[in-house]
Amino acid sequence: MFRLHTSQAGILRLYQPFLWLYPAEFRDEYGRELCLSFVDRWREERSITGLLLVWLQAILGIFYQAPREHYHMIIHDIRYALRILRKDLSVTAAAILILALGIGSTTLVFSLANGLLLRPLPYPQPERIIAVTESSPKDPNETTQISFPNYFDIRARTRLLDDIGVYASAQWPIRGEGTAERVSGASVSDGVFRVLGLDPLLGRTISREDDVPNGPKVVVISEELWQRRYGRDPRILGRSIQIDDARSTIIGVMPAGFHFPDRADFWLPLQMDPTKAARTDYFLHAIARLKPGVSIQQATGELESILEQIHRENPGVNNNWQAHAIPIRDFVAGSYRKAVITLLVAVALLLLIACANVCNLLLIKASARVREIAVRTALGATRRRLLRQLITESLLLGLAGGALGVVLAYAGIPALLSLIPVNLPLWMNFSPDSRVLGFGVAVSLLTTLGFGIIPAFGSFHADLTDSLKEGGRGGNSGARSKFMRHGLVIGEVALSVILLAGAGLMIRSFLALRMQDLGFHPENVLSTSLDWPESRYHDGPPARALLARLTQEVSSLPGVISTSFSSGIPLNDGWGRIFSIENHPVDLKDMTFINHIVVTPNYFHTLAIPLLQGRDFTESDFDTPQIVIVSQAFAKKNWPNESPLGKRLRFGPPKNNEPWHTVVGVVADSKHGAYKGEDRPSVYLPYSSDITPNVLLIRTSGDALQLHQALRSRIVAIDSDIVVSRVLSLEQIIARVSWQDRFLTVLFSAFAALALLLAAVGLYATISYTVSLSTHEIGIRMALGASVSRVRAMILREGMTLALAGLCIGIVVAFALARLLKTQLYQISPNDPATYIAVPIVLILVAGLAAFLPTRHATRVDPVVALRHE
């Protein structure tokens, strides 16, 4: 350093740190000069004001100039990078496309995760809202609704909950003004609106005075219903609306977008009598708002102790069930979490492959650029400067790929939603928001680090003098670069094998699900829900006459083979009830559930469920309904070594003393309540004055859906107040109940296919590059008489060695990871042999092709040309 007076050295120590604001290159170049000039100016001044001015001017100057220097440098880097990227357009385009696919897929899946798991629910302080559930000690993970008396006691005793509300959702027909339609609604206790914390747009919500047995007939409607049926009539409050059979007065309109639960458009007061409801009837959903600062654990603790008190005070109904507090988000979206996380992992693997692929491309390109870098280094470019340049190039690629990827993701969302055949709850909003965009940008930057760093640093390891000496070939076939490139290809292949194995398992599982024996034939069966005005057709002879009329009319439609009514849509609506067998007393705690299905005669014929023993229902059973037909599994379990015919069972808790039902027949097992997984055994009851089933099932000789219009007009002709809804073929219903599996399988397969393609491209690029480097060697070999097939085999061997190494690693890792998919798989073991046989075959075929293509190019080499290549 130069010599200075002590005071000057001091002032310089104050000045120098500011120079760090400059880019390093500028500081290195002019830092010393800046200091010298500053000290000279300082020395010149005598007055305190002058000195202060010098100081001020110097510092302000730095604050003004340093950012400009950064800006100039960045612009310079970007210009240079663009020039370089333009020079090799095919590599640049390939890299951007690969990155766009990786980043786009990742962002797409993230927008799913965002809509389901991250986006706050549309209520104030949603983190304080919980769901309250109960579960049997036998199956603590299977949480269910709660019973009304338990809700009533929890509400009275809680200290940690601000409020609690219960609701039961259903679809009701709305008649009267306008066309009759079936609309989602809910019966709610007064607490529901307070728990959710949203004020009505007009009027008021349901109060405690409304929610009493035989209370006023009032209803709160959604903004959308107000719009749809009433054209936003400003005098809507006080008007009445006919829901099902009863007229209710509209007391409030909720703001737009409010549809709790799911898609509800109106809310009626629950008006239940706690003294008449059973403690073991778990049919109400409960939500509560925690007091500020109360944790989920504290709330669960309190709920458990309240339930214990209830059990102590009511020993007759003690079934040891437990209460839980679950964050509302987990309650409404918990079932999707595993699937979403599985997809995120899959797409992360795809992104890694994309990174490895681009990294590989850049490494190959870097090998070709070693000379350029050596020359620039020789001309005095610092390492830092070159690194910055290379990172700028990667960053440009990353951002271009990211921008295209985010566009792809945005465009892909509608395609993704088209894979979902059901109406999702309206709070599930997958439209891209700032979080998705931020994620896209973050992933692009992270990706840039992922693929850009290795080639950037790798460039400096090349020996400078060597690369300059290598002359015209301008390439570095150095061991380090080759090692890295091969490592990347092996990694890509391994990752794609993992995804392939995952997709294989998913496909196998989905096929197993769709090809399972349902116990009935869903082909050519149409199902529809009918809602008739109960005042006109109340249970008993009037409803019976209506069903007879409907059956007669529908049966006369062309192509109809058989019709019947059921209390639920197969695979969609399950009504679980507990039961006990005569002479086999069982504790309430140990009672299990069955599917309780009320049907008209011909049900088994319509669905093609074989009758195994006894008889089918007949019309005359209407008057003597204390009989049942049971499924084979039910019969075997309860009367293992004797005929079930003539045996008796009854429903509900023993203390209810419901009537006994005699078994008159046994039918083959069929799925009714659950499409996926274990279904409960079924018990069928004949329709009677107690219950009129309202789901019409029609078996036709051809495409069942073609019946739709004729069916609707025939029914409306009978009574235009009958609401015909959910007209679906059983195959459509199967598609709806299995959409999650299909969705997961389709996406997983798409990612795996993409992964395989990228790995193949990576392999192809690497082998092609090796071939281009070995042109000379190939030429010599061919000049010395090596046959074309021998040269091809040599190249193919290199490619297949990489592919096989990747395959081995991938299979081992896939085998270990597959266990994580276990809960998503249906009847397929994570070690499914077929998958682990198919995956290597597919991979070897694709890798073989990718490695073979470059060999064709190599063997077309003319030895003379190849030798001249030197």
Partner 1 sequence: MRPFLLSRDTFHILVALADRDRHGYSIMQEVTERTAGEIRLSPSTLYSAIKRLLEQGLIEELEERPDPEHDDERRRYYRLTKTGRRAATEEARHLEKLLSDARASGLVRKRA
Burial status of residue 800 (CB atoms within 10 A of its CB: 0-12, 13-18, 19 or more): buried
Please state the closest distance from residue 5 (CB atom) to partner 1, in A: 15
Residue pair 557/710 in contact (Cβ under 8 Å)? The answer is yes
Under the criterion CB under 8 A, does residue 2 sit at the interface with partner 1? yes
Hey, how many other C-beta atoms are within 10 angstroms of the C-beta on 411? 11
Under the criterion CB under 8 A, does residue 472 sit at the interface with partner 1? no
Under the criterion CB under 8 A, does residue 790 sit at the interface with partner 1? no
Please state the closest distance from residue 390 (CB atom) to partner 1, in A: 22
Residue pair 712/648 in contact (Cβ under 8 Å)? The answer is no
Under the criterion CB under 8 A, does residue 37 sit at the interface with partner 1? yes
Per-residue x/- marks for partner 1, 679-698, CB under 8 A?
--------------------
Specify the residue, 64 or 297, whose C-beta has the smaller distance to partner 1. 64
How far apart CA 55 and CA 42 sit, in angstroms, is 8
What is the 8-class DSSP label of residue 146? B
Report phi then psi at 613, rounded to 5: -145, 155
Please state the closest distance from residue 110 (CB atom) to partner 1, in A: 43
Which residue pairs from 808-812 have beta carbons closer than 8 angstroms and sit at least 24 positions apart in sequence? Answer: 809/490, 809/494, 809/497, 810/493, 810/494, 810/495, 810/496, 810/497, 810/498, 810/500, 810/501, 810/843, 811/497, 811/501, 811/836, 811/839, 811/840
How far apart CA 53 and CA 59 sit, in angstroms, is 10
Please state the closest distance from residue 18 (CB atom) to partner 1, in A: 9
Task: For helices 48-87 and 89-113, give the axis angle rounded to 10 degrees.
Answer: 110
Specify the residue, 182 or 385, whose C-beta has the smaller distance to partner 1. 385
Under the criterion CB under 8 A, does residue 61 sit at the interface with partner 1? yes
Note the maximum CA span of the chain: 120
Which residues contact residue 440 at a Cβ distance below 8 angstroms, ignoring those fewer than 6 apart?
A: 103, 107, 110, 402, 405, 406, 409
Task: For helices 739-773 and 730-737, give the axis angle rounded to 10 degrees.
Answer: 60
- Residue from 7, 9, 29, 656 that binds partner 1 (CB under 8 A)? 29
Which runs of E-coded beta strand occur in 120-207? 129-135, 143-144, 161-175, 181-188, 202-203
Specify the residue, 50 or 178, whose C-beta has the smaller distance to partner 1. 50
Please state the closest distance from residue 495 (CB atom) to partner 1, in A: 46
Residue pair 630/651 in contact (Cβ under 8 Å)? The answer is no
Please state the closest distance from residue 294 (CB atom) to partner 1, in A: 58
- Residue from 13, 33, 179, 641 that binds partner 1 (CB under 8 A)? 33
Under the criterion CB under 8 A, does residue 40 sit at the interface with partner 1? yes
Burial 350-360 (b: 16+ CB within 10 A, else e): bbbbbbbbbbb
Under the criterion CB under 8 A, does residue 728 sit at the interface with partner 1? no
Under the criterion CB under 8 A, does residue 34 sit at the interface with partner 1? yes
Specify the residue, 38 or 321, whose C-beta has the smaller distance to partner 1. 38
Please state the closest distance from residue 363 (CB atom) to partner 1, in A: 32
Number of residues binding to partner 1, judged by CB under 8 A: 22
Please state the closest distance from residue 58 (CB atom) to partner 1, in A: 5
Please state the closest distance from residue 444 (CB atom) to partner 1, in A: 32
Under the criterion CB under 8 A, does residue 384 sit at the interface with partner 1? no
- Residue from 10, 52, 57, 548 that binds partner 1 (CB under 8 A)? 57
- Residue from 16, 41, 97, 338 that binds partner 1 (CB under 8 A)? 41
Under the criterion CB under 8 A, does residue 68 sit at the interface with partner 1? yes
Under the criterion CB under 8 A, does residue 11 sit at the interface with partner 1? no
Please state the closest distance from residue 63 (CB atom) to partner 1, in A: 9
Specify the residue, 60 or 783, whose C-beta has the smaller distance to partner 1. 60
3-state secondary structure of 630: strand
Which residues contact residue 803 at a Cβ distance below 8 angstroms, ignoring those fewer than 6 apart?
A: 493, 763, 843, 844, 847, 848, 850, 851
Counting Cα atoms < 13 Å in the Cβ hemisphere of 46 gives 0
Q: What is the identity of the amino acid at 246?
A: A
- Residue from 5, 7, 14, 36 that binds partner 1 (CB under 8 A)? 36
Under the criterion CB under 8 A, does residue 26 sit at the interface with partner 1? yes
Specify the residue, 71 or 457, whose C-beta has the smaller distance to partner 1. 71
Q: Which stretch binds partner 1 (CB under 8 A): 60-68, 212-220, 297-305, 565-573?
A: 60-68
Residues in touch with partner 1 (CB under 8 A): 2, 26, 29-30, 33-34, 36-38, 40-41, 57-58, 60-62, 64-66, 68-69, 72
